[in-house]
Chain A
Amino acid sequence: MKMKFAWLLAATMMTAPVMAADSIKIGVSGPFTGGSASMGVSMRDGVKLAVSEINAAGGVMGRQIELVERDDEAKNELGVQIAQELINKENVVATVGYINTGVALASQRFYQEAEIPVFNNVATGSLVTKQFAGADFKANYIFRNAANDTIQSAMIAEEAVKRQGFKKPAILADATNYGQLGKTDLTNALQKMNITPVATEKFNIGDTDMTAQLLRAKEAGADVILTYAIGPELAQIANGMAKLGWKVPMIGSWTLSMASFIDTAGPNGDGAMMPQTFIQQPSTPKRKAFIEAYQKAYNVDRMPSPVSAAQGYDSIYLLAAAITQAKSTEGRAIREALENLGTKVDGVVTTYDHPFTATDHEAVSDNIPVFGLVKGGRVGPAHPEDIEGDKALRIKPKA
C-alpha cells in the first residue's frame, strides 16, 4: 500500500510540471450572484483586468496566467467544495478572492493543508489572516490586501469622536458574524477613547422595520450612528431615519459604499461615511490608468464596488511578482517570495514595498484607507485634503 502511494506520488510529481508548463492556473472564489455580488463581480473584473494586462505583456516566467473562476454564492459549504475542487482537480498554484469572512474561514484550511497560498482581497474579518498564525503552525499560507475590521473600526471611532467631535454614538449592527464581530471591534475602539455607546442595537438580515432600533438610538440622545451591516439593511436604516424625521450622520464599515446601499437609500444615504482603500478618482497616474482601463473593458461609468475592483487587481500583481521572484509555481516557494518580496509593486491602492513578513500577512496598514463620502449616488473623498498631492499615495510604514 505504502509502496503504491509512493509510486503515485512520484508519478504526479513527474507529470505535474509537464501539465502546467503551458499556463499558470490561479483560482478565483467569490460570490458572483446574491447579496454580495456587486463586490464579488467587481473583484473578479479587477482580477481579470490584471491578468489580461500581464498576459498581453508576455505572462509570468514566459507562461500565461489562466483563471479558474468559481461562484461561492457567499455560502460557507459551497466555498469548501470549491476549495477542494480548485486544489485537487484544477491544481491551482494559488487562489485569490473571498468577499465573505465566513467563507474564507471555512475554506482556507484546505489551502493551508495543501500548502497553497490564499490571497484574500476583500474579506475583512480580523481573524482571516490569523487563523493559522502562531507557534502551532510551521507557516501561514493566508495573505490579505484589504483593510481588516480592526483597522476599520479604529478608523470609524477616530473619525466620529476625534475628528468630528461626536460624544454619543449609537452602534447598529446586523445579527450575522460580520455585524456582531464588527460591533465588538467598534465597542473596543470606542472604549480606548473612554466613550461608551449610548445604544447598541441589533437587527436580522431581511428585517423590514427599523423603527424600534432607531427610536432607541434617538431616545438615548445619539448624535451619530455607527454601522456594521450590509447594503440592503443599511438602506433600511437610512430610509427609517428619514421616515422618523431624524437625521444624524451615519459612519460605518466600508459596506456603506455598496451599490445596494447607495441605490436603495437614494438621497437618504447622502452623507454616509466609510473607510475606503480606493476611491474612484484619478488621484495618481496608476489609478487614472486603472479606472480608464476598467471603464473601457467593462463598459461602465461607475464601478459597482471600486474598492473590491482595485484590491482584486492588486492581488494579482502581488502574486505575479512573487511567482516571478520564486521562479517556481510551488506553493511553499510562492509563500516565501511573498514574505520577502524584493520588487516594489506599483498597485492601485498603494505602492507595495515589502508588504509582508513571515509574521505579518496584511498588506494594508491603518494609514492607507481614507474616508469616503456618499454624495449624489457616488462615493467621493470625505476630506479631499487627505488625498491631495503627495498624500494621495499612502504607503505602509516599514516594520
Chain B
Amino acid sequence: MQILMQLIVSGISVGMIYGVIAFGYQLTFATSKTLNFGQGEALMLGALVGLTTVNFLIGNSLGNFWAYVLMLPVVLAFGALQGSVVEWLGVRPAMRAKSEAGWIMATIALGIIFKNLAENIWGRDALRFPSPLPEASLSFGGIRIQPMEIVVVIGAIVLMVAVELFNRYSIYGKAVVATSNDRDAAGLMGINTNRIITFSYALSSMSAAFAGVLVAPVTLTGATMGAVLGLKAFAVAIIGGLSSGLGVVIGGLILGITETLTGYYISTGYKDVPGLLLLLIVLSLKPSGLFGKAAIKKV
C-alpha cells in the first residue's frame, strides 16, 4: 500500500508538469484552433532564462529561496514575450494566408531555431538548477516527498486557476472566451480577435516557461529538456481533450500515474507503452479527447 502511494505521489508530480504544458496547448487551440508545436522549447527557454536569472541573483548574495521568487516575474514576462514572437512570426502569416498546415511547419521550425539558439547561448550540457527549498525529502507515514514536488503540484494548480479566473471575471478574459466560442461573431462585436490570439500565445508560452522553472530544480536544465516533455504533453492534450482545461489536467495525471505504475508493476522497460496505448484507444473511441467537446466542422 505504501509503495502504491509512493508511486502515485511521484506520478502526480510528473503528471502535473505534463498537465501545465498541455494547458498551454489548450489555450491557443481555444482561440485560434492552432497549436504551438514548440511548446517544449518554450519550457526549455523559460527554465534556462530562469537559471541565468537565479544564478545572477544568488551571485548578488540573495538566498536561493528569494532568488527563485524574484526570478518568477522575469521568467513569466519572458515567456509571454516569446509566445508573442511565435504567434507573430509563425502563426499570423499562416492564418492570414488561410493556410491549413502552415502554422504547423512554422511553429516546429521556430522550436528548432530556439533549441539551436539555446545550445549556442547555454551550451549543450545539462546544468543543475539551484533548488529554492531544502532537498531533503519529507516523510508522510512512510511516503517520501521532496518539498519541491509539492511546489510543482501547487504551482501548477495556482497557474491554471489564475488563468481560469481571469477568463471568467475580467473584461479581457471575456473577450478571450468570446473569441474561443466564435471568432467571427466576436470580431463583429468589436473585439480585436488578432490581439486576443497573440495574447493567448503569450499566455500559453508563459505557462510553459513557468512549468520549466517548476520542473528544473527536480531534474536538470538544458537545451534538450523540452523535447520529451513537449511530446508527452501533446499526448496528454489529446487524451484529455484540447478544448477542456480540466481535461488536460486530468489527462496529465492519468499519464503520469500510469507511467510510474507500469514501471513498477510491469517493467521499467515498458514504462512508456501504456500511455501510448491509451492515446491510441482515446483517438479511436473518442477523438476529441476524454473531456473534449466534439467539434462539428461546418463547411
Q: Which residues of A contact B (CB under 8 A)?
A: 33-35, 37, 175, 201-204, 206, 208-209, 211-213, 215-216, 219, 231-232, 235-236, 239, 242-245, 260, 263-264
Question: Known contacts being A215-B264, A264-B126, is A244 close to B220, with CB within 8 Å?
Answer: no
Cβ-defined contact, A260 with B125, below 8 A: yes
Q: Which residue of A lies closest to B14 (CB)?
A: A209
- Once the chains are docked, how many angstroms separate the CA of A264 from the CA of B221? 11
**Chain A hits for B124, CB < 8 A:** 33-35, 37
A204 and B218 CA atoms in complex are apart in Å by 17
Q: A35-B124, A211-B7, A239-B135 known; 15 other A-B pairs, CB under 8 Å?
A: A37-B124, A175-B269, A204-B228, A204-B272, A208-B14, A208-B219, A209-B10, A211-B264, A212-B268, A219-B3, A231-B126, A242-B135, A242-B137, A245-B137, A260-B125
Complexed CA–CA distance, A213 and B218 (Å): 17
A215–B7 touching, CB < 8 Å: yes
Q: B144 interface residue, CB < 8 Å from A?
A: yes
Considering only residues 257-281 of chain B, those with a C-beta below 8 Å from chain A are 259-264, 267-269, 271-272
The answer to whether A211 and B6 have CB atoms under 8 Å apart is yes
Question: Are B146 and A243 closer than 8 Å at their CB atoms?
Answer: yes
Cβ of B197 under 8 Å from chain A: no
**Distance (Å) between the CB of B143 and the closest chain A CB?**
10
Nearest 8 Cβ contacts at the A-B interface:
A212-B263, A211-B10, A208-B219, A34-B124, A212-B264, A201-B268, A202-B269, A232-B126
**Cα of A68 to Cα of B260 in the assembled complex, Å:** 47
Known contacts A216-B264, A236-B219; A37 and B228 CB within 8 A of each other: no
Q: With CB as the reference atom, state the residue of chain A lying closest to B215.
A: A208
16 contacts between A and B (CB under 8 A): A33-B123, A35-B124, A203-B268, A204-B228, A204-B272, A206-B228, A208-B219, A209-B14, A211-B7, A212-B10, A212-B259, A212-B263, A231-B126, A236-B220, A260-B125, A264-B220
Interface string of B225-237 (1 = CB under 8 A from A): 1011000000000
- Cα separation A204 to B224 with both chains bound (whole Å): 13
Interface flag for B168 (CB, 8 Å): no
**B174 interface hit (Cβ, 8 Å):** no
Within 8 A of A (CB), among B118-168: 119, 123-126, 128, 135-137, 139, 144, 146
Total interface residues on B, CB under 8 Å, equals 37
Partner among A202, A231, A243 whose Cβ is within 8 Å of the Cβ of B268: A202
- Contact check, B260 vs A260: say whether CB atoms are below 8 A apart: no
Instruction: Digitize B6-32: 1 where CB-to-A-CB distance is under 8 Å, 0 elsewhere.
Output: 110010011000000000000000000
Bound complex: CA of A19 vs CA of B123, how far in Å?
A: 38
| Whole-angstrom CA separation of A209 from B268 in the bound complex | 11
The smallest C-beta distance from A389 to any residue of chain B, in angstroms, reads 39
Q: For the complex, give the distance between the alpha carbons of A219 and B3 in Å.
A: 9
**Complex Cα spacing A263 to B261, Å:** 30
CB-CB nearest in chain A for B261? A212
Whole-angstrom distance between the alpha carbons of A143 and B271 in the complex? 39
Determine how close the nearest CB of chain B comes to the CB of A10; give it in whole angstroms: 46
* Chain B residues in 8 Å Cβ range of A212: 7, 10, 259-264, 268, 271
**CB within 8 Å for A208 and B218 given contacts A215-B3, A215-B7:** yes
Q: Which residue of A lies closest to B266 (CB)?
A: A212
Q: Which of A37, A232, A243, A260 contacts B137 (CB 8 A)?
A: A243
Q: Are B125 and A37 in contact (CB under 8 A)?
A: yes
Residues of A within 8 A of B268 (CB): 201-203, 212-213, 216
Q: Judging by beta carbons under 8 Å apart, are B137 and A213 in contact?
A: no
Known: A209-B10, A211-B7. A263 touches B269 (CB 8 A): no
Chain A min CB distance to B140 (Å): 12
Distance in angstroms from A354 CB to nearest chain B CB is: 40
Query: A37, A203, A235, A243 — which one has the most chain B CB atoms within 10 A of its CB?
Result: A243
How far is the CB of B30 from the nearest CB of chain A, in Å? 28
Contacts of A260 in B (CB 8 A): 125-126
A202 vs B119: C-alpha distance in the bound complex, in angstroms? 28
> Which residues of the partner chain B approach A206 to less than 8 Å between Cβ atoms?
224-225, 227-228
Residue in contact with A35 in the complex, picked from B126, B144, B228, CB distance below 8 Å = B126
Contacts of B3 in A (CB 8 A): 215, 219
In the complex, the answer to whether B6 meets A245 with C-beta atoms within 8 Å is no
Which chain A residues border B261 with CB–CB below 8 Å? 212
Q: Which one of A37, A212, A235, A260 has the greatest number of beta carbons of chain B within 10 Å?
A: A212
Query: A51 vs B3: C-alpha distance in the bound complex, in angstroms?
Result: 56
Distance A30 CA – B104 CA, assembled complex (angstroms): 36
- Taking CB atoms, residues of chain B closer than 8 Å to A37 are 124-125
Chain B residue at smallest Cβ distance from A206: B228
Q: In whole angstroms, how far apart are the Cα atoms of A189 and B193 in the complex?
A: 66
Chain B residue numbers with a CB within 8 Å of A232 are 126, 220
Residues of B contacting A263 in the complex (Cβ-Cβ under 8 angstroms): 128
Cα distance, A236 to B225, chains bound together (Å): 14
Q: Residues of B contacting A244 with CB < 8 Å?
A: 6, 137, 144
A203 to B219, CA, bound (A): 14
**Which of A203, A219, A245 is the one whose CB lies under 8 Å from B144?**
A245
Closest to A231 in B: B126
Complex: A40 Cα to B267 Cα, angstroms: 34
> CA separation between A37 and B135, bound complex, in Å?
28
Nearest chain-A residue to B149 (Cβ)?
A: A243
A204 contacts across to B, CB distance below 8 A: 228, 272
Please give me the residue from chain B that is nearest to A199 by CB atom: B268
Q: Distance in Å from the Cβ of A369 to the closest Cβ of chain B?
A: 26
